Amino acid sequence: MAERIYNADYHLADPDFAAKRPIGFAHFLMAMLASLRSSVSALDYGGGEGSMARTMRGNGFDFDAYDPFFSDQPAPSRRFDLVTSFEVVEHSPDPAGIFETMLSYLKSDGAILFSTALQPRYVTSAWSYIAPRNGHISIHTVLSLRSLASRFGMRFCSINHTHLLFRQATDPVARAILRYDVVDMLWRASRRDARSLLEASLAAAKVGYGLAAFNPRHFLRLLLTAKD
């Protein structure tokens, strides 16, 4: 992988890797975790050169970075409230193993927030996520991520193009993330399947959005547009 994929020319396949994407995710996280700025500890797993973690630290967050695929830095020696992993899991040949590793750095009431594109219902050559050279070798669906979450005793929800693994919706980090964009979470769930909508609705209700969670529009949308 180091020779064929993650070499000096990797930026040609993924020009946003070094700066644009990590800085964008940092601003997204700062808004999502604003209420926990002084209390949350976090690890960016697979964070490349550490740009996102540096940006977070520069804005008052306790944020470390660790990328066993990109550098020889020592592994973290503590556990965290939050583990992030943006555009990483699709590069791993061992999907269960990478989540198990991330969980090993997580506190008992912590959460994992990660991103990976979900496989569309119909896959064609136009879907750039499986293009040659980008190193994406583990492609996921809602079903595969839900299965991995269940394997490790976690719950699963998708929020604003990211995915959350958590144990209890009322845990501090999970609660902050789930509350960040309840409308988007419910909208996405209603376009997938009944189980996704039920899980998202229950999570929303537990963090104080009961009326929004059980709005009839979500169930009508499920009947008309659910596709995954």
In the chain, which stretches have pLDDT less than 70? 1-2, 4-7, 10-21, 226-228
- Please indicate, yes or no, whether residues 154 and 189 belong to a single structural domain of this protein: no
Structural domains counted in the chain: 2
Domain boundary among 143, 162, 180: 180
> Torsion over CA of 211, 216, 220 and 223, rounded to 10 degrees?
70
Q: Which helix (H) or strand (E) holds 115?
A: strand 106-115
Sheet holding 62-66, edge to edge: 62-66, 41-45, 80-86, 106-115, 162-166, 155-159
- Please indicate, yes or no, whether residues 61 and 165 belong to a single structural domain of this protein: yes
Q: Identify the CATH number of the domain in which residue 77 sits.
A: 3.40.50.150
- Please indicate, yes or no, whether residues 161 and 225 belong to a single structural domain of this protein: no
Q: Is residue 5 part of a domain?
A: no
- Please indicate, yes or no, whether residues 168 and 204 belong to a single structural domain of this protein: no
Q: Is residue 197 part of a domain?
A: yes
Question: What pTM, to 2 d.p., does this model score?
Answer: 0.89
- Please indicate, yes or no, whether residues 102 and 150 belong to a single structural domain of this protein: yes
CA 199 to chain centre: 17
- Please indicate, yes or no, whether residues 90 and 23 belong to a single structural domain of this protein: yes
pLDDT value at residue 22: 75
Q: Is residue 4 part of a domain?
A: no
